[in-house]
Amino acid sequence: MDMDGDWPLPRLNALFKVDRRPAGSSLSKASSIASTFSSLATPVVADAVQRARELSTNSDVEGFHQLRVAFRKLRALYWAYSPYLGEEVTVQATEEFKRLAAVAGETRDWDIVGDLLKAAQESGASIDLLVAAAREKRAQAVLHSQTMIKSDHVEAFLNEVVLRAQSSLQSRCDDLPIRAFAEERVRSAQRALQKRSRRAARVEASHEEDLHDVRKAGKKLRYLLEFFQPVIKGGHGRAIKELTAVQNKLGAFNDIAASETLIRSTSFDEVPPEVVQASLQWLREQKCRRMQAASRRVRFIAG
């Protein structure tokens, strides 16, 4: 999508000041659906803008990761409010969040590949040439991410979509209370996670796609619980911890699976094919172990 073409860029202003408080910390049960959207979105947007600025001049590993997380949280938030935002507003915003997260993720993906290849080296795999090539690919990804993620464009885009969403919500649900709405959206995310978990657990050997679907559904639910925890019944602190533990297992498996796919799809002109194959063999062995651990977690939550 052409950001400049689809979204008229407004004049930059000081709408999004950096706010390190957790999103949702200022919510109350008396808040309306419309007012809570701004309270939840603003800290996440401010964090994304700040990280985009910082990444324009450096290639911090954690910075790219947290920028991708911020865009994922915004996608979850727009999904939560989609019944009142409408399909057009939701789709246009979330597709761009997805694209920006993917651009930020390019560097992060090569960081993960690099860490895994170093572990393979330490276990005795002779893949020195591939490790060096992966470092070069990571450097190229940094340049591409920095070129594609311009902080002024990111700020202007986020300014525009959040203001548009806020205007839509104020016209549709400005006086509706937040609690019942938040609880219904959390239940909907819980049902989606349960459905995907049961599908993944039905077969003895889970498929990668099924585990990936569980991981995405779990992230969405965790983000919504973190957003709405101050206004929904029951606290859900324990549920957030359990979801985080599940995500860690699924994330460890996803790192292996995604790294295998990335290496397979990349051309390494200076690396002999047998070196690439040695790395893929090591990854396959690790993937089997991590898939078993992830599948056990999924069967646990499915039950």
129 inside domain: yes
Residue 18 has pLDDT above 80, yes or no: no
Same domain assignment for residues 74 and 162: yes
Can you tell me the distance from the alpha carbon of 3 to that of 151, in angstroms, rounded to the nearest whole number?
A: 13
User: In this structure, are residues 77 and 89 in contact, taking their beta carbons and an 8 Å threshold?
Assistant: no
Q: Is 143 buried (19+), middle (13-18) or exposed (0-12) by CB count in 10 A?
A: exposed
User: In this structure, are residues 275 and 125 in contact, taking their beta carbons and an 8 Å threshold?
Assistant: no
Same domain assignment for residues 158 and 43: yes
Same domain assignment for residues 262 and 303: yes
Same domain assignment for residues 69 and 205: no
Same domain assignment for residues 222 and 154: no
Same domain assignment for residues 194 and 260: yes
Domain end residue (candidates: 120, 155, 176): 176
For 41-90, the pLDDT digits (tens) are 999 999 999 999 998 888 788 888 999 999 999 999 999 999 999 999 99
Same domain assignment for residues 197 and 81: no
Same domain assignment for residues 200 and 302: yes
3 inside domain: no
3-state SS class at 104: helix
Same domain assignment for residues 98 and 223: no
3-state SS class at 233: coil
pLDDT of residue 236: 78
pLDDT of residue 4: 34
133 inside domain: yes
Can you tell me the distance from the alpha carbon of 111 to that of 220, in angstroms, rounded to the nearest whole number?
A: 24
Backbone torsion region of residue 267, taken as left when φ is above 0, otherwise alpha when ψ lies between -120 and 50, otherwise beta: beta
Can you tell me the distance from the alpha carbon of 145 to that of 58, in angstroms, rounded to the nearest whole number?
A: 11
Same domain assignment for residues 102 and 48: yes
Q: Range of 250's domain?
A: 177-303
14 inside domain: no
47 inside domain: yes
Residue 24 has pLDDT above 60, yes or no: no
Same domain assignment for residues 126 and 239: no
Domain end residue (candidates: 148, 176, 204): 176
Can you tell me the distance from the alpha carbon of 273 to that of 173, in angstroms, rounded to the nearest whole number?
A: 59
User: In this structure, are residues 121 and 128 in contact, taking their beta carbons and an 8 Å threshold?
Assistant: yes
Prediction pTM value: 0.85
Distances (CA, A) of 72 to 48, 69, 97, 108, 262: 11, 5, 7, 14, 21
Domain end residue (candidates: 126, 147, 176): 176
24 inside domain: no
For 259-271, the pLDDT digits (tens) are 999 999 999 988 9
User: In this structure, are residues 120 and 256 in contact, taking their beta carbons and an 8 Å threshold?
Assistant: no
For 174-204, the pLDDT digits (tens) are 889 999 999 999 999 999 999 999 988 886 5
Distances (CA, A) of 33 to 44, 63, 172, 232, 255: 18, 31, 10, 13, 37
Q: For 46-51, which contacts have Cβ atoms below 8 Å and span 24 or more sequence positions?
A: 46/16, 46/17, 46/18, 46/19, 47/18, 47/19, 47/20, 48/74, 48/154, 48/158, 49/16, 49/18, 49/151, 49/154, 49/155, 49/158, 50/18
* Average model confidence (pLDDT) across the chain: 86
Closest by CA to 215, choosing from 255, 261, 262, is 255
Same domain assignment for residues 67 and 202: no
CATH number of 46's domain? 1.20.120
23 inside domain: no
| Dihedral sign computed on CA atoms, order 243, 246, 251, 257 | negative
For 108-151, the pLDDT digits (tens) are 999 999 999 999 999 887 899 999 999 999 999 999 988 888 88
* Number of domains the chain contains: 2
| Dihedral sign computed on CA atoms, order 245, 250, 256, 261 | negative
pLDDT of residue 205: 57
87 inside domain: yes
